[in-house]
Amino acid sequence: MAGQRKGTWTVRVSGNWRITFTFDGVDACDVDLEDYH
């Protein structure tokens, strides 16, 4: 992603839903399920 969310990765789940997360080394952190509407 860009802007304030630079470094955040996304995985499309279904429709508008995305799992978003960042990495701390090899560990996924700040994992969230978001509705990208």
Which pLDDT tens digit goes with each residue over 24-34? 999 999 999 99
pTM passes above 0.75: yes
Distance, in Å, from the CA atom of 13 to the CA atom of 36, rounded to the nearest integer, reads: 11
Listed by start position, the domains of the chain span: 3-35
Closest CA to 8 of 17, 19, 26: 19
Average of per-residue pLDDT values in the chain: 91
pLDDT at 3: 74
* Of residues 35, 9, 13, the one with CA closest to residue 1: 9
